[in-house]
Amino acid sequence: MKKLWTVLLVAVLAITAGCGGGNDGKPSAASSASGEKVELHVSAAASLTDVMNEIGADYEKEHPNVKVVFNYGSSGALQQAIESGGGADLFFSAAQKQMNALEKAGLLADGTRKDLLVNEVVLIVPKDGGKDIPSFDQLARADVQRVALGEPKGVPVGQYSEEILTKLGILDAVKAKAVYGSDVRQVLTWVEGGDVDAGLVYATDAAISEKVKVTAQAPADSHKPIVYPVAILKETKQMDAAKDFLAFATNDANKKRFEQYGFEVK
């Protein structure tokens, strides 16, 4: 009889342990420490691809129970995906416009939005065999036949580019020979391959390529400040992990990493 009561007691304790600490399906700090897998979805502007891949890899080394899944693209496309229920936990945008729209729609977690980085727009040409185009106003020349720009409706670098060209009074002339990329990396790729005579990209994108040459930097007063905001999405099911990743991505070591890639850290 004693043996029977011992077996029953062990069973009751096991059931109690399995049901305790209700967390609505969200992994607690204890469950994370015990190795329960967490998948964190991060939507990030295409211009952040290289640096965020490094940050994500380092985070996973320190948190082997967390898998960081990145979705890169134009900030406009990422914004639309989030609005459509795309399931992101964090959003790193290349412009305030897209983050403002999500905040207005009530999709950001309170108190998590912050301005993180600053960038610049530069004019690039193919490094080998490219035309001599020393300044933005030279894009209106007749011999410059194809200019790569980001699609201005959804690609922040395209929006900044149009502001610059408008300020210089050459927007219509350049639009007549423009080809539009779905994100800044497509613009970079076209210039690298010699498919176009020139392109407008962020300074940080130009810096990672050995196949392009920067010929000019946009005047500071020719466009809105290029500020990258970040926020956690309100509907995340991984709030603790999202907060931890955001703190990791913005720690002193990773601020230096962003600077190494050419960003200015706010």
Q: Residue 261: inside a domain, yes or no?
A: yes
- DSSP-derived secondary structure for the chain: -HHHHHHHHHHHHHHHHHH-S--TTPPPHHHHHTT--EEEEEEEEGGGHHHHHHHHHHHHHH-TTEEEEEEEE-HHHHHHHHHTT---SEEE-SSHHHHHHHHHTT-BPTT--EEEEEE-EEEEEETTT-----SGGGGGSTT---EEEE-TTT-HHHHHHHHHHHHHT-HHHHHTTEEEESSHHHHHHHHHTTSSSEEEEEHHHHHT-SSEEEEEE--GGGS--EEEEEEEBTT-S-HHHHHHHHHHHTSHHHHHHHHHTTPEE-
pLDDT tens per residue across span 175-213:
999 999 999 999 999 999 999 999 999 999 999 999 999
Please report the pLDDT score of residue 86 as a whole number: 85
Please report the pLDDT score of residue 158 as a whole number: 97
CATH number at residue 172: 3.40.190.10
Domain count along the chain: 2
One domain, residues 200 and 80: no
Task: Give 130 or 108, the one with higher predicted confidence.
Answer: 108
One domain, residues 213 and 125: yes
Please report the pLDDT score of residue 202 as a whole number: 97
One domain, residues 158 and 78: no
Q: Which domain holds residue 74?
A: 38-118+227-265
Task: Give 174 or 18, the one with higher predicted confidence.
Answer: 174
Q: Residue 15: inside a domain, yes or no?
A: no
One domain, residues 190 and 234: no
One domain, residues 114 and 79: yes
Mean pLDDT of 240-250: 97
Please report the pLDDT score of residue 234 as a whole number: 96
Q: What is the pTM of this model?
A: 0.82
Q: Residue 74: inside a domain, yes or no?
A: yes
Q: Residue 254: inside a domain, yes or no?
A: yes
